[in-house]
Amino acid sequence: MFIRRILGALLVSSLAIPAIADNTLILPEKTKLLVLDGKDADKLDGKRDLSLSNGRHQLVFQLKTLVREGGDTKMFTSSPYIMTFNLSGDQTYTIKAPKLKTARDTDRLSKSPKSQFSLSNEKGQVTPFEFSVLNKSGLLIGVDTVEDIQKFNLSDNPAAVREMAGTVYIATPQGVSYQVAQQPSVMPAPATAQPMSESMLQYWYNQADETTRERFLKWIADNKAATKQ
């Protein structure tokens, strides 16, 4: 009787704990994953399936495969593609890509890339997505693409996700300015309104850790006091 009561209590408590839904996303073959949700996905490259939570996600990837052109075979690498979509329901989703066998297939992909892809769940239901092309060519490395995607996510493109932009540092002829996507109301003045030295100081201050910042502020205070003497 005691054991039954214990088992019953465990069963009730387990039912009271909400399950954490994880979705599985299956990528197309010949996919090179570059960025996932605004972060470098190099460690995930080569995986065909990803475990993703419910909510909004953004993939940046390329297709890389051998194709026939005339009597020759050559390596084709697509432009980086950006797909943004919502997942829910602890389901398996699949991204389908075109089969690239000939140069004619790659030309068709380059002319109308979005129409060549689809996203659907295990029941065959189509999942809507936003799509864009990153204007870069050649085989890229995820870490080199993260900054470009962060800047892209500050744009008004339908595939952009502002929450994934983070802090973006932008070099300009006047210095270095930065944009913080999560706090647009406290963004600094444009770099054109600042001297180059001030922009650089702001850049390196924001790059430093808390200890270095404190030493820097103390150095400023000491020099200011010395100047007044």
Range scoring the smallest mean pLDDT among 18-27, 85-94, 141-150, 183-192: 183-192
pLDDT tens, position by position, 73-111 = 999 999 999 999 999 989 999 999 999 999 999 999 999
Q: For residues 132-156, b (16+ Cβ closer than 10 Å) or e, as one string?
A: bebeeeeebebeebbebbbebbbee
Task: Give 17's DSSP letter.
Answer: S
pLDDT tens, position by position, 97-106 = 999 999 999 9
pTM given for the model: 0.64
Q: Which one is predicted more confidently, 189 or 82?
A: 82
